[in-house]
Amino acid sequence: MMKPKYIITLELFLNRLDQGMNQLEALQAYGETCLHSTVSDLANKSGYEFTRKDEPHTHQNGGKTHFRRYWLKPELADKARKHISLYEKAPTATNETGLNDHSKKLDQAKCNPNPPLVESEPSSTLI
């Protein structure tokens, strides 16, 4: 079974606590095309906090742009480890709603590793 994007993202943030991650690195690491949205979902739906910093970037044609680097706040590393652990221990069977059977266990742990993802309109804002 393939891991959900948010679990992969949390694992990478844990492995990169000191250096953080930007969109280009996430794209190379696991094909992430909307790191800003994944970070927003983790923050708004699961209570994670991130430090953010804009970094300049020169693209292949010499133009200037920027990418935002995100760092998971170190004090939330244990929460992320628990989140990943709960996902890894969860049964893979799904019920008729399509949710994993372990959702009650996750709610009891007050750690939802499956933040509800909301379909949204494409953003006109460039990263």
For residue 77, give the CATH number of its domain.
1.10.10
Confidence of residue 37 (pLDDT cuts 50, 70, 90): very high
* Tens-place pLDDT, residues 75-89: 999 999 999 999 988
pLDDT of residue 72: 98
In a domain, 30, yes or no: yes
Supply the range of the domain harboring residue 13: 5-108
Please indicate, yes or no, if residue 125 is contained in any of the structural domains.
Answer: no
Angle (CA) 67 38 19, round 5°? 50
Average pLDDT score over residue span 95-122: 43
Contact status, residue 23 vs residue 69, Cβ threshold 8 Å: no
The two beta strands, 64-72 and 50-58, are antiparallel
Which whole number is the average pLDDT over 14-25?
97
Name the pLDDT band for 42 (thresholds 50, 70, 90). very high
Number of domains, the chain = 1
117 occurs within a structural domain = no
* 91 band by pLDDT with thresholds 50, 70 and 90: confident
